[in-house]
Amino acid sequence: MRNAAFALLAVIVAFSVALFGCSQRPSNSGANPSAAPSGGAAGPSGSAQPAPSGGGDKIRLTVYSTIEEPPNQEMMKSIASDFTKENPNIQVEFQFPGSEYENILKVKMAANDLPDVFDTHGWAIIRYGNYLADLRDQPWASQLTDSIKPVVTDKDGKVYALVMSEAKDGITYNADILAKYNIEPPKTFDELMAAAEKIKTGSGGDVSPFFMSGVDNGMIGGFLDIFATSMFISPANNDAQALLDGTFDWNKWAELAQKLLDLQKKGYLNKDVLTAKYSDLPQRFAQGKVAFVMGAPSFADDVHKINPNVKIGYMPAPATADGDAPTFSGGERYTMGAWKDGKHLEEAKKLIAFYAKPENMSKIANATKLPSGLKDIQSQHEFSSYYEQYQDIRVFPYFDRVYLPNGMWDTMCKTGTSLIAGSVTPQQFADKMKSEYERLRGQK
Amino acid sequence: MSGTVKRLVRGGVLLNLLYVPAMALFAVFIFWPFLKGIQISFTNWDGYNQNFQWIGTDNYSRMFGDPDIKTVVKNTFIYGVGSTLFQNVVGLLYALFLNTRIRTRGLVRTVIYLPVIISSLIMGYIWYFFFQYEGGAINDLLQLFQDQPANLLGDPKANVWIIMFVNTFQYLGIAMVLFLAGLQTIPREYYEAATIDGAGPLARFRRVTWPLLAPSFTVSVVLNLIGGLKLFDVITAMTNSGPGYASASLSTLMYLLYFGREDAGYAATIGILMFVIISVVSLFALILLRRREVPA
C-alpha cells in the first residue's frame, strides 16, 4: 500500500512539474539554443546553431496590430524590417488577428500578459490605460495633432500611444451616383434624407441610399454613434455635461432611434440589412448599388479591385440641429502603445519612435489613406483632397468613448439591430440604453 | 518484472494510476475553470480588469429579470431538442435503409456522414450562401414563383428553425452510424424467429429492433442533446445571434456578453444556467432511456 501511495505521489509530482514547466512564459531574450552546454546537444549531423555574430542576445518584440488589409500589413512589416536593419539585435514579430483582435487582447489583459507593442484602436485610456507605459518623454509626443492629443493624453499629461492614423469618421459616398442625380454632398440631416429619397425614386429602387449590416452590426452602431454626436454634443445647446454626470434625459435617445428606424421604413436601407455582411459592401458599392456608407472609406481598395472606375467621395456627418454645422467623429485609428510591464520596454519605445519618423508616418498615411496623428506629415492619396477640403470641420471624439460607459457599444449595436427588425420600439431602445448606462456606471 | 511492479499490477493499483494524467488534465482544464466560473458569476468582472467587486447574487436576480433570457432559453431548447428529434428520426430511417442489402450502401453511408467531418463554422457559412437574401440559392428558386426574395435569415420566426435544420443536417450522420452499429449487433435469429411466429416487418421492428436498439438510442439522444444545447458555430456563422438576440443560444449569448458587452460576471452566470440546463436535460434523458434498455 505504501508503495502504491508512493507511486501515485511520484506521478502527481511529475505531472505537476510538467505543468509548471508548460506554464512558464517563453523567455524572449535568453532562449538562444547555442547558449546551452554543447556536450551532446548537437544533433546527429552536428548542426547546433552558432551564436549570432553581432554579439549579445536577440530580442524579439511582439507587436499586435488591428490592420487587416494585406498591403498595409506588408507596409508595417517593411518598416519593421528597416528598424531591424538599424537594430540587428531586435526582431519584430507582427500579429494581425483581424476581427478577433479585441477578444484576444481582452484575454491577454485578464492574464496580465500583453504584447510588447499593441494597437489601442480607440481605447488607449479607457480600456488599455492601466497597461500602457507613459510615452510623454518620446521625441514625437509633442508633435501629436491638436485633435488627437487630448484623445491619448490624460489630465496628468501621460501620453498613452503614438497615433499613426487618426480617424475622422463621416460619410463615404459614391460620387458617381451623387453626380448622376445632381446631388451636392448634404450638409444637414434633412438634406441627407432628401438626397436618399431622390436616389431611391430616381433609381427605381435599384440603388440603396444606405448600406448597413445587421450581422456586422457595428455599422448600425456607427450610425448611432456619429449622429449622437451631431444631436447631443455638437449643437450650441448640448447634453454633453448631462451625459457625463448621469443626468441625461434618455427619452431623447428615442428621437435618434427614430431617425434610424425612419431610414428603414422609408426604404433607404438595403433590403437585407438584417442579414447582409460587411463583406457584401465592396461589391455592391462597386456595382453602383449603394450611395452612402457611414464611416471612413476603409473599403475603397476592395471597391477599386472590382471596379477601378468608381469615384468614392467623403464628407463630414451632416448637422441634425438647426443652425449647427457638419462634424467628424474622430479618435485613434491605428496606434502603437507599449506595455508598461513588458520585458523590453525600452526597445518597444525605440520601435515606436522609429515608426514616428516623418518618412514612416508618410508611408503609413499613404497606405491607410487616413490623416496622420502627427503634425506636418506629407501624404498624397485618393482622399487627401477631401481631408484638406474639410480640414476646418470640427472633430469630436467618438460619442461612446467619452459619454457612454465601457461595454455599451454592443448594447447600442444589438438593440439598434433589434429596432430595425421590429423587435423593439424607439422608446424601448431608449429605456434599454438608460438601464445599461446606469448599470455600467454603477459598477465602474 | 520486479516484485513491486507485479504486486501493483495484480492489485490493480497500476491500472488506477493510469487514470491520473487524464484526471489531472480534467482537473486543470475543466474542473478548475468551472469552479472559477462559479466564482466569477458572483462578481461584476468586466473580463479583463484585474479589479472587480463581489456583488452577491445580483447577476442571478438580473438573469431572471432579463427580457432576452426567455427567447434565448427557448432557442436553446429548439436547437437542442429539435435537432435531437430530427437527427434521431431521420438517422434511424437512414440506418434501417442502409441495413438492407443495397448495392450503393457504402457510398450512401459516406455521403450522409460527410457533413460531420466539415467544420460547423464552415457549414454555417455554406448554408448562409444558400439562404442569403441577395443571390442566395433558395431565393433564386423562390423567385421563380414570387416577385420578392424572402429574408429568411432576418426573420426571427424562421431563422431559429433554419439553424436547427442546418445542425440536424450536419450531425445526422452520427445518429445514423450509431444506429447502424446497433442494428448490426442484433442477431439474425431473432428476426427469423419472429418471422416464423408470423410477425410482419412492422411488428419485427416494434418487437425486435426497437427494444434492442435502445442502447444506441440512449447514446445518440444524449450526444445530440448536449451538442444541440451548446450550439455555437452555426449560429455565429449564419446570423451572429441576430437580429439583436433573436437567434442566440445560451452559448452565443455567453460569448457576446463576455467579449461584446464586457460583462464577464453575467456571462459566467449564463454559463452556470447553461450547465444546469444541459445537466438536468441530459441526465433526465439518460435515466429515462436507460430504463427501456434490454440486454441483447
Interacting residues of B215 by C-beta distance below 8 A, sequence separation 6+: B182, B293
Give the nearest chain A residue to B17 (CA atoms). A8
Q: How many residues does chain A have?
A: 444
Decide if B13 touches A, using CB distance below 8 A: yes
pLDDT tens-digit profile of A196-210? 999 999 999 899 999
Pairing of strands A327-338, A117-118: antiparallel
Q: What is the pLDDT of residue A348?
A: 96
Cβ contacts (< 8 Å) between A272 and chain B: which residues? 132-134, 151, 154
Question: Look-up: residue for cell 496628468?
Answer: A156
Asked whether residue A174 falls in the same domain as residue A305, the answer is yes
Q: What is the pLDDT of residue B1?
A: 56
Cβ contacts (< 8 Å) between A410 and chain B: which residues? 256, 260-262
Residue A427's pLDDT band, with cuts at 50, 70 and 90, is very high
Asked whether residue A235 falls in the same domain as residue A324, the answer is yes
How many beta-carbon pairs below 8 A join chains A and B? Answer: 113
Which of A107, A274, A414 is opposite residue B245, by nearest beta carbon?
Answer: A414
Is A43 inside a domain boundary?
no
Asked whether residue A262 falls in the same domain as residue A353, the answer is no
Which of A110, A411, A421 is opposite residue B243, by nearest beta carbon?
Answer: A421
Angstrom distance (rounded) from CA B290 to CA B283: 10
Task: Report the pLDDT averaged over residues A178-189.
Answer: 96
Q: Tell me the residue type at A408.
A: M
Q: Which residue has the higher pLDDT, A443 or A89?
A: A89
Angstrom distance (rounded) from CA B133 to CA A273: 9
How far from chain centre, in Å, is Cα A144?
A: 18
Q: Kindly report the nearest CA distance between residue B174 and chain A, in angstroms.
A: 30
pLDDT tens-digit profile of B263-272? 899 999 999 9
Is B12 inside a domain boundary?
no
Asked whether residue A252 falls in the same domain as residue A304, the answer is yes
0.85 surpassed by complex ipTM: no
Is B250 inside a domain boundary?
yes
Q: What is the pLDDT of residue A29?
A: 37
Is B25 inside a domain boundary?
no
Q: Kindly report the nearest CA distance between residue B296 and chain A, in angstroms.
A: 39
Q: Quote the domain boundaries for residue A352.
A: 59-168+331-397
Task: Read off φ and ψ for residue A119, nearest 5 degrees.
Answer: -85, 135
Helix-strand-coil split of chain A, %, nearest 5: 45, 15, 40
Asked whether residue A302 falls in the same domain as residue A431, the answer is yes
Asked whether residue A271 falls in the same domain as residue A388, the answer is no
Residue A242 has pLDDT above 80, yes or no: yes
* Least confident window among A9-18, A159-168, A190-199, B248-257: A9-18
Number of domains making up chain B: 1
Asked whether residue A403 falls in the same domain as residue A260, the answer is yes
Asked whether residue A137 falls in the same domain as residue A265, the answer is no
CATH at A184 = 3.40.190.10
Residue A315 has pLDDT above 90, yes or no: yes
Asked whether residue A138 falls in the same domain as residue A268, the answer is no
Angstrom distance (rounded) from CA A419 to CA A261: 7
Number of domains making up chain A: 2
* Range among A36-50, A99-113, A191-205, A380-394 rated most confident: A191-205
CATH at B250 = 1.10.3720.10
Each residue of A36-64: b (16+ CB within 10 Å) or e? eeeeeeeeeeeeeeeeeeeeeebbbbbbb
Asked whether residue A337 falls in the same domain as residue A321, the answer is no
Cβ contacts (< 8 Å) between B21 and chain A: which residues? 11, 15
Say yes or no for a CB contact (<8 Å) between A214 and B11. no
Decide if B20 touches A, using CB distance below 8 A: yes
Asked whether residue A117 falls in the same domain as residue A201, the answer is no
Task: Read off φ and ψ for residue A35, nearest 5 degrees.
Answer: -75, -15
Is A47 inside a domain boundary?
no
Q: Which residue has the higher pLDDT, A217 or A16?
A: A217
Is A36 inside a domain boundary?
no
Asked whether residue A156 falls in the same domain as residue A114, the answer is yes
Cβ contacts (< 8 Å) between B44 and chain A: which residues? 443
Q: What is the pLDDT of residue B160?
A: 95
Q: What is the pLDDT of residue A225?
A: 96
Is A356 inside a domain boundary?
yes
* Range among A171-175, A301-305, B67-71, B94-98 rated most confident: A171-175
User: Taking Cα atoms as reference points, which of A214, A170, A190, A169 lies closest to residue A266?
Assistant: A190
Q: What is the pLDDT of residue B123?
A: 95
Residue A70's pLDDT band, with cuts at 50, 70 and 90, is confident
Give the nearest chain A residue to B259 (CA atoms). A103
Query: Which helix (H) or strand (E) is A292 found in, with range?
Result: strand A290-294
Is A176 inside a domain boundary?
yes
Q: Quote the domain boundaries for residue B126.
A: 65-291
Mean pLDDT value across chain A: 86
Cβ contacts (< 8 Å) between B262 and chain A: which residues? 106, 406-407, 410
**pLDDT of chain B along its 296 residues, tens only?**
567 777 777 777 778 888 889 999 999 999 999 999 999 999 999 888 888 889 999 999 999 998 889 999 999 999 999 999 999 999 999 999 998 888 888 898 899 999 999 999 999 999 999 998 888 899 889 888 888 888 889 888 899 999 999 999 999 999 999 999 999 999 999 999 999 999 898 999 999 999 999 999 999 999 999 999 999 999 999 998 988 899 999 999 999 999 888 889 999 999 999 999 999 999 999 999 988 776 55
Q: What is the pLDDT of residue A27?
A: 36
Instruction: Output the nine-digit C-alpha cell for B226.
Output: 448536449
Q: What is the pLDDT of residue A257?
A: 97
Cβ contacts (< 8 Å) between A12 and chain B: which residues? 20, 24
